[in-house]
Amino acid sequence: MRTNQPSIDLAARIMSAYVTRNSVPADNLPDLLVTVHRSILALNRPAQPPARRASEAQIRASIRPDALVSFEDGKPYKTLRRHLTLRGLTPEAYRAKWGLPVDYPLVSATYSARRSDISRQIGVNQRLRMKAAAE
């Protein structure tokens, strides 16, 4: 079975080898063939250019005391972790994608300070309760 298009011939050969070793329902064969053919065609396309890297000035401008500006959508956030999770990114993947340093913050300075104050206050109150209970 030789055709004028090598990608179709290659897809047919891959499908033939797959079907001889695996049980595939007949109604799934057309979809599987299309998937294999698209994958082969995708190999011939040039790779996507890497995402645009942020410059040093853009990185500095994105870090504000009250918020961090996301490079994904340009909006300010107190914390980037939930925003990145909703976009399917880990902090490491986000930093790599945009060329950010490993110490790039994920929480704004004022939000972090406020959370720290709350934690300290909770600890002080807990120690006072323990001291009062001991007396």
Report pLDDT digits (tens) over 92-108.
Answer: 999 999 999 999 999 99
C-alpha to C-alpha distance for 7 and 131, rounded to whole angstroms:
78
**CA separation (Å) from 61 to 67, 72, 74, 104?**
11, 15, 11, 12
**Closest by CA position to 53, among listed 34, 80, 71:** 71
CATH class of 59-126: mainly alpha
Q: Quote the CA–CA distance of 91 and 102 in Å, as a whole number.
A: 9
The percent of residues in the chain predicted with pLDDT above 90, rounded, is 57
Give whole-number Cα distances, 45 to 7, 14, 41, in Å: 13, 20, 7
Which of the residue ranges 1-5, 41-45, 64-68 would you say has the lowest mean pLDDT?
1-5
**What mean pLDDT is reported for the chain?**
88
Give the start-to-end residue ranges of the domains of the chain.
6-44, 59-126
